[in-house]
Amino acid sequence: MDHDSKNWCKIYDEYNDEEVELTKDERKLISRMLKGEAPRADFDPYAPYVDWFKWDNVIHPLSSAPELKRMFIPSKWEAKSIPAYENALKESFDRCLDLYLCPKEESED
């Protein structure tokens, strides 16, 4: 059985229905991808971030979508504190009402 040493670097192209021999660069690219690395050696995954959007004088939100309903529904912890706020508000209102309605004492000078 004749063994071709270059046969391992050929692939079958289904689209064109032919065998294609991979170049050295293509083989390097595939081996880097199989190792989990970036396809190109010159690619820098930790390049400094460039913010292309200017945030100066922004008056409109980036999205005009309405807020989700779950943003208005309190969490379990917040739901427990709501009655406390309600009671505190009611007591504060009652105190203010009592102070407003109580008769004023006139001072004698």
Quote the pLDDT of residue 4.
Answer: 58
Q: Is the dihedral of CA 15, 17, 23, 26 positive or negative?
A: positive
> Looking at the predicted structure, is the pLDDT value of residue 68 above 50?
yes
Q: What are phi and psi of 84, to 5 degrees?
A: -65, -40
Quote the pLDDT of residue 1.
Answer: 37
Reported as a pLDDT band with limits 50, 70 and 90, residue 89 is confident
Quote the pLDDT of residue 97.
Answer: 84
3 compared with 28, residue with greater pLDDT? 28
Q: What's the whole-model pTM score?
A: 0.36
Over residues 69-78, the mean pLDDT reads 75
Q: How far apart are CA 29 and CA 26, in angstroms?
A: 5
Q: How far apart are CA 35 and CA 28, in angstroms?
A: 11
Give pLDDT tens digits for 49-65. Answer: 888 777 777 777 677 77
Q: Using alpha carbons, select from 7, 9, 46, 47 the residue that is nearest to residue 31.
A: 9
List, in sequence order, the alpha helices (H) in the chain: 24-34, 76-101
Q: How far apart are CA 65 and CA 79, in angstroms?
A: 26
Average pLDDT over all residues of the chain? 79
Q: Using alpha carbons, select from 52, 33, 34 the residue that is nearest to residue 43.
A: 33
